[in-house]
């Protein structure tokens, strides 16, 4: 919480992950149904990168900024809420599509943040 920009990024990132990754898995019983457990196990990533961690490029870009200003913040609002999160799906393709949609929202969010930082910090400073 010592950095308001990273705190805001983390909150948005976690909400996107919750509504597009975790909630659809719980609603569709992927945490205990044997035929759907593989989807739940995807969250138990064995690599150093956890699905809920914000990307390193955002952390590195934040390090280039000076003091925080309101121009640094990107708010996603309704885009980060998945209107289909509570759907009970019979086929696993729908669960996969929700995860892909969440990945697209996070990718767009990352793009917007990096674009905002680029406007505040000239690219020659970042390079």
pLDDT score for 126 = 45
Give the pLDDT confidence score for residue 1 in this predicted structure: 56
Q: What is the pLDDT along the chain (127 residues), one digit of tens a residue?
A: 577 778 888 888 888 888 888 888 889 888 888 888 887 777 766 566 666 778 788 888 777 777 777 666 777 677 778 888 888 988 888 888 888 888 888 888 888 888 877 776 655 444 4
According to the model, what pLDDT value does residue 124 have?
46
Does the predicted TM-score (pTM) go above 0.85?
A: no
The end-to-end CA distance of the chain, in Å, is 27
| Spatial separation of the C-alpha atoms in residues 40 and 75, rounded to whole Å | 29
């Amino acid at each position: 919480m010592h950095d308001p920009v990273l705190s805001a990024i983390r909150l948005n990132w976690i909400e996107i992950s919750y509504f597009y990754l975790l909630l659809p898995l719980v609603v569709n019983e992927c945490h205990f149904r044997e035929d759907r457990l593989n989807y739940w196990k995807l969250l138990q990533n064995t690599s150093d990168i956890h699905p809920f961690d914000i990307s390193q490029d955002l952390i590195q870009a934040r390090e280039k900024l000076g003091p925080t200003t309101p121009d640094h913040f990107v708010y996603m609002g309704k885009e980060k809420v998945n209107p289909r999160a509570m759907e009970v799906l019979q086929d696993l393709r729908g669960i996969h599509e929700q995860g892909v949609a969440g990945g697209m929202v996070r990718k767009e969010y990352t793009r917007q943040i990096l674009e905002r930082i680029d406007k505040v910090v000239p690219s020659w400073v970042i390079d």
